[in-house]
């Protein structure tokens, strides 16, 4: 019995040590980015222990004076608006696919899957040519529509899965009580599928927030987003690593509270839980 207890403690200690090592390995890039953000250019690549007091806020000041804050605001506007538009269009579409019987449902599901799996490079050139003719280059509305083409299939597909977990009898009971289909969706189905809805919204926002390719092709100076604006700190002659580190932190920090708040719902959605 004593041998089993010792063996259990050894295994537990090894497991904890491995978890701590993995956590340290995961946090190392974040720690290194923080160090780069506070180091002057002359001490940028020196070990921190060789000059621990060589710290500066010049990198933060240079970011504040640049166009990066406006690019960060553009990212908020376009990612938030595209997520809202994808939810407004995708949730009713997913509800119809899940609960209504109609011809072509199988083809619609495969089309959604194809749109979700297709790489953006496959249709960005036709989209760019259309935007040139329509005058949507370097506009917020053009980027919002482009992001919606990415997030809408994801919202429909993920919410379809969430709605499938809700019993059809719940929907039928609401209809028999005199509620309209829209009232059933708004008052019965959406509260039950809240974890999936929150997860779809958060992941769609992050998908648009981190986009680089669409913003690089569609935007110019007025609507440049934060991932593209980071390129301004790279030139043929030099690379401003300190400014890039500060910009990377500024790009990451807004997503942290969103993920923390929505973490419970994301876990429930991935686990297939439906709140009744």
Q: Reply yes or no on whether the pLDDT at 231 is more than 80.
A: yes
Cβ contact 221:20 at 8 Å: no
Per-residue pLDDT at 229: 93
- Encode pLDDT of 45-71 as tens digits: 788 888 878 888 888 998 998 899 999
CA distance 148 to 205: 10
Q: Reply yes or no on whether the pLDDT at 275 is more than 50.
A: no
Q: Reply yes or no on whether the pLDDT at 272 is more than 70.
A: no
Q: Reply yes or no on whether the pLDDT at 129 is more than 80.
A: yes
Q: Reply yes or no on whether the pLDDT at 1 is more than 60.
A: no
Q: In this prediction, what percent of the chain has a pLDDT beyond 90?
A: 32
DSSP at 67:
S
CA distance 59 to 252: 17
Q: What is the CATH class of 65-270?
A: mainly alpha
Chain position carrying tokens 């043929």: 236
Instruction: Indicate the range of 15-24, 85-94, 111-120 predicted with least confidence.
Output: 111-120
Per-residue pLDDT at 74: 95
Higher pLDDT, 99 or 224: 224
Higher pLDDT, 111 or 267: 111
CA distances, 257 to each of 201, 219, 247, 260 (Å) = 14, 28, 18, 5
Per-residue pLDDT at 3: 57
């Amino acid at each position: 019995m004593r041998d089993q207890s010792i063996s259990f403690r050894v295994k537990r200690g090894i497991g904890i040590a491995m978890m701590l090592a993995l956590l340290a390995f995961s946090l190392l890039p974040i720690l290194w980015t923080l160090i780069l953000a506070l180091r002057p250019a002359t001490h940028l690549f020196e070990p921190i222990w060789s000059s621990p007091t060589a710290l500066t806020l010049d990198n933060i000041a240079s970011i504040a004076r640049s166009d990066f804050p406006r690019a960060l605001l553009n990212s908020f506007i376009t990612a938030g608006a595209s997520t809202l538009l994808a939810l407004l269009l995708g949730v009713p579409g997913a509800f119809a696919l899940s609960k209504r019987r109609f011809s072509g449902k199988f083809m619609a599901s495969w089309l959604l899957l194809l749109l979700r799996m297709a790489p953006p490079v496959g249709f960005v050139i036709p989209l760019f040519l259309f935007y040139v003719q329509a005058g949507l280059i370097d506009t917020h509305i053009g980027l919002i529509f482009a992001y919606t083409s990415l997030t809408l299939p994801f919202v429909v597909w993920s919410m379809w899965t969430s709605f499938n977990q809700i019993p059809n009898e719940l929907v039928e009971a609401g209809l028999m009580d005199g509620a309209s289909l829209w009232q059933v969706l708004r008052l019965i189905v959406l509260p039950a599928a809240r974890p999936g809805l929150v997860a779809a919204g958060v992941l769609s926002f992050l998908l648009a927030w981190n986009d680089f390719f669409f913003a690089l092709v569609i935007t110019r100076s007025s609507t440049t987003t934060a991932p593209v604006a980071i390129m301004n700190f790279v030139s043929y002659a030099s690379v401003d690593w300190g400014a890039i580190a500060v910009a990377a932190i500024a790009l990451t920090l807004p997503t942290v509270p969103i993920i923390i708040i929505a973490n419970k719902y994301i876990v429930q959605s991935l686990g297939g839980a439906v709140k009744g």
